Amino acid sequence: MIAASSAPAVIDIQGVTRRFGATVALENVSLRVPRGVVFGLIGVNGSGKTTLIKHVLGLLRAENGSVRVFERDPVADPVGVLSRIGYLSEENDLPPWMTVAELIRYTKAFYPGWRDDDAEALRHQLNLDLGSRIDTLSKGQKARAGLLAALAYRPELLVLDEPSSGLDPLVRRDILGAIIRTVADEGRTVLFSSHLLDEMERVVDRVAMIDKGRIVFTAAMDDIQANHRRLTLRFAEARSHPPELPGALSWEGAGQEWTAVCHGRTDELQTAVLACGGQIVEEARVGLDEIFVARMKRTPASVEQE
Partner 1 sequence: MSPTLALAYLFWTQHRRGLTLLGGYWLVVMILCLALPAGAFTLPPGESLPPVLMAVVFPCSCLVAAAWYLILVFTFGREAWLEACESGFPARLWTLPLPTHVLVGWPMLWGSAMLTLVWLTLAWAVRGLCSFDVPLVWPGLLLAVLLAWWQAILWTPFPLPSLRFYLLVPVSTVLLCTPMAVLAFDVPSIAVYGLLAILLSDAYITALRGVTRARCGDNVQWTRPAPLRWPRPSRTHPPFTSAARAQLWFEWRLHGLAFLVPVAFCVSILPPMMFQNIDMAVLSTPSLIQERGHLWMLPAIEMVVILSMVWASGMEMSKLGRTYRLPSYLATRPVSEAMLLRVKFVVAAWTTLAGWCVLAIGLLLWLALGGYAAEKMAQLFEAMRQRHEPGLFWGWLIFLVGGAVVLTWLQMVQQMWTGLSGKMRVIESWGVFSNAAFVGQIFFGFWLAQHPEYWPVFNRLLPWLAGAAVILKSLAAVWSLRALRRRALIPSGVLWGMLALWFTLALGAFAALYALLPDDWFSVPGVILGIMLLLPLTRLALAPLALAWNRHR
Question: Is the Cβ of residue 35 or residue 133 nearer to partner 1 in the bound state?
Answer: 133
x/- letters, 274..293, toward partner 1 (CB under 8 A): --------------------
Residue whose C-alpha is closest to residue 20's, from 57, 51, 43, 66: 51
Cβ of residue 114: shortest distance to partner 1, in angstroms?
A: 9
Cβ of residue 158: shortest distance to partner 1, in angstroms?
A: 12
Residues 65-84 that bind partner 1 (CB under 8 A): 75-76, 78-83
x/- letters, 225..254, toward partner 1 (CB under 8 A): ------------------------------
93 in contact with partner 1 (CB under 8 A): yes
Can you point out the beta strands (E) in 176-247?
189-193, 206-211, 214-220, 228-239
Q: Is the alpha carbon torsion for 82, 83, 84, 89 positive or negative?
A: positive
Q: How many residues bind partner 1 (CB under 8 A)?
A: 38
The residues near 260 (Cβ < 8 Å, ≥ 6 apart) are: 230, 231, 233, 242, 245, 248, 249, 250, 251, 252
Single residue of 1, 44, 59, 196 touching partner 1 by CB under 8 A: 59
Angle of helix 116-126 relative to helix 100-108, nearest 10 degrees, comes to 150
111 in contact with partner 1 (CB under 8 A): yes
User: In this structure, are residues 75 and 61 in contact, taking their beta carbons and an 8 Å threshold?
Assistant: yes
Question: Is the Cβ of residue 159 or residue 272 nearer to partner 1 in the bound state?
Answer: 159
Cβ of residue 10: shortest distance to partner 1, in angstroms?
A: 16
Burial of 185: CB neighbours in 10 Å, binned 0-12, 13-18, 19+: exposed
Single residue of 16, 85, 137, 151 touching partner 1 by CB under 8 A: 85
Residues 135-154 that bind partner 1 (CB under 8 A): 135, 146, 149
Single residue of 46, 95, 277, 300 touching partner 1 by CB under 8 A: 95
87 in contact with partner 1 (CB under 8 A): yes
Q: How far apart are CA 11 and CA 35, in angstroms?
A: 8
131 in contact with partner 1 (CB under 8 A): yes
- Can you spell out the DSSP letters for 232-284? EEEEEEEESS----TTEEEEEEEEEEEEEEEES-HHHHHHHHHHTTEEEEEEE
In this structure, the strands spanning 214-220 and 206-211 are antiparallel
Interface contacts to partner 1, rule CB under 8 A: 57-61, 75-76, 78-83, 85, 87, 89, 91, 93-97, 99, 101-102, 104-106, 108-111, 130-131, 133, 135, 146, 149
